A and B are shown apart, each in its own frame.
Chain A
Amino acid sequence: MSFKTAMEGYAKYEGLGNWAFILHRLAGLGVILFLIIHVLDTAAVYFKPSLYADAVSLYRSPVFGIGEIILVLCVIYHGLNGLRIIYFDMINPNLWTIEINRKSVIWTWIITLVLWLPAAVVMGSHIIEHLGS
Chain B
Amino acid sequence: MLEKVTLKILRYNPEKDAQPHYERYTVEAEPTDRILDVLEKIKAYQDGTLTFRRSCAHGVCGSCAMRINGRNRLACKTLLKTLDTSKEITVEPILGLPRVKDLIVDMTTFFDNYKKVMPYFINDEPLPEDGRERLQSPEERARFDDTTKCILCGACTTACPTFWADNSYVGPSAIVNAHRFIFDSRDRAAAERLKILAGDSGVFRCRTAFNCTEACPREIKITKAIAEVKRAIITGRLD
Q: A: which residues have CB within 8 A of B?
A: 1-3, 5-6, 8-10, 12-15, 17-18, 20-21, 85, 88-90, 93-94, 96-98, 101
Give every chain A residue within 8 A of B165 (Cβ-Cβ): 1-3, 5-6
Q: In the complex, are the beta carbons of B71 and A1 less than 8 A apart?
A: no
Closest to B208 in A: A85
B95 in complex: contacting residue of A5, A21, A96, CB < 8 Å = A5
Quick one: CB contact mask for B194-229 with A, threshold 8 Å, 1 for yes? Answer: 000000000000011111011000000101100110
CA distance A90 to B224 in the complex (A): 10
- Known A-B contacts A3-B165, A5-B95, A96-B223; the reply to A17 vs B228 at CB < 8 A is no
Taking the complex as formed, is B91 at the interface, i.e. its CB lies under 8 A from any CB of chain A?
no
- Known A-B contacts A9-B96, A13-B159, A17-B214; the reply to A88 vs B164 at CB < 8 A is no
Taking the complex as formed, is B167 at the interface, i.e. its CB lies under 8 A from any CB of chain A?
yes
Give every chain A residue within 8 A of B209 (Cβ-Cβ): 17-18, 20-21
Q: In the complex, are the beta carbons of B70 and A12 less than 8 A apart?
A: yes
The 8 A-B pairs with the shortest beta carbon distances in the complex, nearest first, are A17-B210, A14-B70, A21-B209, A93-B227, A96-B224, A6-B165, A96-B223, A6-B164
Give every chain B residue within 8 A of A10 (Cβ-Cβ): 161
A1 in complex: contacting residue of B69, B70, B97, B223, CB < 8 Å = B97
Smallest Cβ distance from B233 to chain A, in angstroms? Answer: 12
Taking the complex as formed, is B115 at the interface, i.e. its CB lies under 8 A from any CB of chain A?
no
Give every chain B residue within 8 A of A98 (Cβ-Cβ): 213-214
CA distance A18 to B71 in the complex (A): 10
Q: In the complex, are the beta carbons of B71 and A21 less than 8 A apart?
A: no
Smallest Cβ distance from A79 to chain B, in angstroms? Answer: 15
Give every chain A residue within 8 A of B67 (Cβ-Cβ): 13
Q: In the complex, are the beta carbons of A94 and B211 less than 8 A apart?
A: no
Q: In the complex, are the beta carbons of B214 and A1 less than 8 A apart?
A: no
In the complex, besides A21-B210, A90-B227, 18 extra interface pairs with C-beta distance below 8 angstroms are: A1-B98, A1-B164, A3-B165, A5-B95, A13-B95, A13-B159, A15-B159, A15-B210, A17-B210, A18-B209, A20-B210, A21-B207, A21-B209, A88-B223, A93-B227, A93-B228, A98-B213, A101-B213
21 A-B residue pairs with CB within 8 Å: A1-B167, A2-B165, A5-B95, A5-B164, A5-B165, A6-B165, A8-B95, A8-B164, A9-B96, A9-B161, A13-B67, A14-B70, A15-B214, A17-B211, A17-B214, A18-B210, A21-B209, A21-B211, A89-B230, A90-B230, A93-B231
CA distance A18 to B165 in the complex (A): 14
Smallest Cβ distance from B140 to chain A, in angstroms? Answer: 19
